[in-house]
Amino acid sequence: MKAHKELILDATRKFHVDASDDRPFIPGTTEIWPAGACLDEHDRTALVEAALEMRIAAGKSSRTFESRFARKLGHRKAHLTNSGSSANLLAMTAFTSHLLEDRALRPGDEVITVAAGFPTTVNPIIQNGLVPVFVDIELGTYNTTADRVAQAIGPRTRAIMIAHALGNPYEVAEIARLADDHGLFLIEDNCDAVGSTYDGRLTGTFGDLTTVSFYPAHHLTMGEGGCVLTSNLALARIVESLRDWGRDCWCEPGETNKCLKRFTYQMGTLPEGYDHKYIFSHVGYNMKATDIQAALGLTQLDKLDDFCAARRHNWNRLREGLDGVPHLILPRATERSDPSWFGFALTVDTEAPFTRAALVDFLENRRIGTRRLFAGNLTRHPAYLNQTHRVAGDLTNSDIVTEQTFWTGVYPALTDEMLDYVVQSVREFVGAHT
Ligand SMILES: Cc1ncc(COP(=O)(O)O)c(C=O)c1O
């Protein structure tokens, strides 16, 4: 049996070489994707091995990944989920748990968030019957500021949930301090910023809970997947319960009676001794990931530092190459931060003699992939027009982003040759239109 497995894994390594695309870069023909998975022979063999062993549900690899990832990101606990959006939903829902007693969020309570970003940073607020309070962002960093958040705090404000924009940390130390001072919970959506630091400390370590996505565009991938991390063990228990059907029991699947009290609990109005495995203390979900995903996560995790270094290198190459180009607002790192970038954002100046559409069209025709700053101003989307919300201040920059901003890729598979072609193309377009 073992011999057969080794043969298959060996053949997988050889297949990886056959399947690899080693065609040379041809400017204007080769796609320059804005984002994508970086998968090597170890990733492929890990997936095949997990499939051979038919580890089809969450198990050993999931638990190993959770403990290694938690350690890597400076936390005591990580809970693997089936997506970053699920991680966000679990994180927000955790703050509605009855276990938090007086601190639990109640329908109608407000959560401060950013208007221009990804929808599933905001959706869990609405899904829990809470009210999003939208604040504006800055152009250049594409983050909000501690001042804007401070201005937005009202009598019903109970939490803050904000994503680090395109890998660029927001003023998270200051915002965490505000949260502390006002008794608010803070969730850092770190889906786009794994490896970024603010004040020399990893993003995701300032808030009460933090979330990560493992969709292929992100710093690490499992295909689909996500994670909720925390060092607060009480919150970790709530997240786990919500993720695992809402159950009260904390035995892993396949384990029984870890607490040695499986048949002696009495909870709710259940009969004494009702099997703890089937006692539900939250209205939960099943948002677990599988061991096949976790196996890939483990081999990806070995490369995290290299991936982050490549993202920084690629962003710097674009930034230096485009320095001084007129009519474009170039991106900048938030002060005191070292971003592990997700993308390279460009905003066409409102006074520019060309439009974003024309520039994007020019780049896309050269096979240079572009993306919008996700939703732009979410309040303008059909899904949100009739949702209860509050806007604190104005959303001028969120509107500018909606109309004038796009981003191009910095992910590790991009080569210097490709990035130089992006620089040359932007310069050529702007030069021809000014
Ligand atoms: C900031 C942010 N939060 C959450 C998500 C959702 O992650 P997922 O696609 O894994 O659900 C994304 C997705 O790209 C994101 O960019």
Q: Give residue-wise pLDDT tens across range 303-348.
A: 999 999 999 999 999 999 999 999 999 999 999 999 999 999 999 9
How far, in Å, is the centroid of ligand 1 from the Cα of 84?
5
Mean pLDDT of the chain: 97
Distance CA 79, CA 372 (A): 30
- CB contact at 8 A, 164 and 192: yes
Query: Which tops the pLDDT comparison, 21 or 68?
Result: 68
- CB contact at 8 A, 225 and 260: no
Q: What is the pLDDT of residues 346-396, one digit of tens each?
A: 999 999 999 999 999 999 999 999 999 999 999 999 999 999 999 999 999
The H-assigned helical ranges of 111-251 are: 119-127, 146-152, 172-182, 233-243
Distance CA 42, CA 65 (A): 16
Distance CA 20, CA 365 (A): 25
Show Cβ contacts of residue 195 under 8 Å, excluding neighbours closer than 6 positions: 202, 219, 304, 305, 307, 308, 311, 340
For ligand 1, whether the C-beta of 215 sits within 6 Å is: yes
Distance CA 24, CA 186 (A): 46
Distance CA 51, CA 242 (A): 28
Q: Choose the residue to mutate in 82, 191, 378 for probing ligand 1, maximizing ligand atoms within 8 Å of C-beta.
A: 191
Residue 137's DSSP bridge partners are: none
For ligand 1, whether the C-beta of 226 sits within 6 Å is: yes
Nearest-atom index, ligand 1, CA of 218: 14
Nearest-atom index, ligand 1, CA of 164: 1
How far, in Å, is the centroid of ligand 1 from the Cα of 261?
39
For ligand 1, whether the C-beta of 120 sits within 6 Å is: yes
Distance CA 288, CA 66 (A): 12
- Which of 48-62, 184-198, 248-262, 322-336 has the lowest average pLDDT? 248-262
- CB contact at 8 A, 378 and 134: yes
Indicate if the pLDDT at residue 254 is higher than 90: no
Indicate if the pLDDT at residue 1 is higher than 70: no
pTM assigned to the model: 0.98
The whole-number average pLDDT for the span 410-423 is: 98
Q: Which residues are identified as catalytic?
A: 218
**Positive/negative CA dihedral, 105, 108, 111, 115:** positive
List phi, psi (to 5°) of 348.
Answer: -80, 125
The whole-number average pLDDT for the span 66-91 is: 98
Q: Is 389 helix (H, G, I), strand (E, B) or coil?
A: coil
- CB contact at 8 A, 197 and 54: no
Both structure tokens of 294: 């976790």
For ligand 1, whether the C-beta of 118 sits within 6 Å is: yes
Distance CA 35, CA 37 (A): 7
For ligand 1, whether the C-beta of 213 sits within 6 Å is: yes
Q: Choose the residue to mutate in 118, 144, 164, 203 for probing ligand 1, maximizing ligand atoms within 8 Å of C-beta.
A: 118
How far, in Å, is the centroid of ligand 1 from the Cα of 117?
10
Distance CA 302, CA 172 (A): 27
The whole-number average pLDDT for the span 29-35 is: 98
Please state the domain extents for the chain: 50-300, 303-432
Q: Choose the residue to mutate in 192, 219, 407, 411 for probing ligand 1, maximizing ligand atoms within 8 Å of C-beta.
A: 192
- CB contact at 8 A, 92 and 128: yes
Nearest-atom index, ligand 1, CA of 165: 1
Domains 50-300 and 303-432 share a fold: no
Both structure tokens of 159: 């939490």
Indicate if the pLDDT at residue 252 is higher than 90: no
Distance CA 102, CA 306 (A): 44
The domain made up of 50-300 has a fold known as Aspartate Aminotransferase; domain 2 (3.40.640)
Architecture of the CATH domain 303-432? Alpha-Beta Complex (3.90)
The whole-number average pLDDT for the span 74-78 is: 98
Rounded to the nearest 5 degrees, what angle is found at the Cα of 116, between the Cα atoms of 168 and 388?
135
Q: What is the pLDDT of residues 138-155, one digit of tens each?
A: 999 999 999 999 999 999
